[in-house]
Amino acid sequence: MKKTLSIIIIATISLALLFISAGCRYEATYTEEGIVDRSEIEVVSGDTAKAGDISWELIDVEDLGTEIQDEAGAVLTPVRGKFVFVSFSVQNSSDEGRTLYDMKVIDSKGRVYSICTEAYGYFSSNYSACTLANIPPGGNPLFFSASFDINLDSEELVLEVTDLLKPPQQKAYIDLGI
């Protein structure tokens, strides 16, 4: 029994360390210019978008700068350059549950940035973390936040939202205004 418990504890700690070390690290292919052709992206006007049965609303965008400090004074610095914080709501009008796995921000050069999960531990938010979030059908909007580690020269950022199907069949893009 003790041996099994020890193996479970070691496996849990190993997985936690793996996720922490992954943090905001990205594969090089996602930082190459032109990974997404921005001329093919149609950005919606306003702060709302619909992709299939999923409605999205952008609530707030904030440039957090070159570091995030938690309440205890620990500092997180970005790998690429600076952090951007986004809060939004999502509503599922379908008759089946969906899962929000990840969000993407794309800059004017077509570089794609995924959520920096490590940043969640460094600031408090009134909104939930949006990784592996269940979005039930027919309910009220749910509120989430995400942080992205982006290059300092990134501009004209858009948030990619989807129908939350795997793979997505419909996508929409909301201008972040920065």
pLDDT in tens, 39-79: 899 999 999 999 999 999 999 999 999 998 888 888 999 99
| pLDDT band of 29, cuts 50, 70, 90 | very low
Residue 126's pLDDT is what?
61
Which tokens belong to 19?
A: 């996720």
Q: Does position 128 have pLDDT exceeding 70, yes or no?
A: no
- Of 155, 159, 142, nearest to 98 by C-alpha is 142
Give percent of the chain above pLDDT 70.
76
pLDDT in tens, 69-121: 888 888 999 999 999 999 999 999 999 999 998 899 999 999 999 988 888 77
Question: Which CATH number covers residue 18?
Answer: 2.60.40.1240
Q: Does position 125 have pLDDT exceeding 80, yes or no?
A: no
Q: CB 9: neighbour CB atoms within 10 A? A: 10
Rounded to whole angstroms, the Cα distance separating 159 from 113 reads 10
Residue 170's pLDDT is what?
97
- Of 21, 25, 33, nearest to 112 by C-alpha is 33
Residue 153's pLDDT is what?
96
Residue 24's pLDDT is what?
53
Q: Does position 159 have pLDDT exceeding 90, yes or no?
A: yes
Domains contained in the chain, number: 1
Which tokens belong to 58?
A: 């952008």
Residue 15's pLDDT is what?
40
Torsions phi, psi for 169 (to 5 deg): -100, -25
**Rounded to the nearest 10 degrees, how much is the dihedral formed by the CA atoms of 55, 58, 59, 63?**
160
Average pLDDT over residues 132-155: 91
Task: Give the range of the structural domain holding residue 144, as residue numbers without chain letter.
Answer: 2-175
Q: By three-state DSSP, how is residue 108 classified?
A: coil
Rounded to whole angstroms, the Cα distance separating 155 from 63 reads 11
Inter-residue contact 174 to 158 (CB < 8 Å): yes
Side chain identity, residue 138: G
Rounded to whole angstroms, the Cα distance separating 170 from 129 reads 23
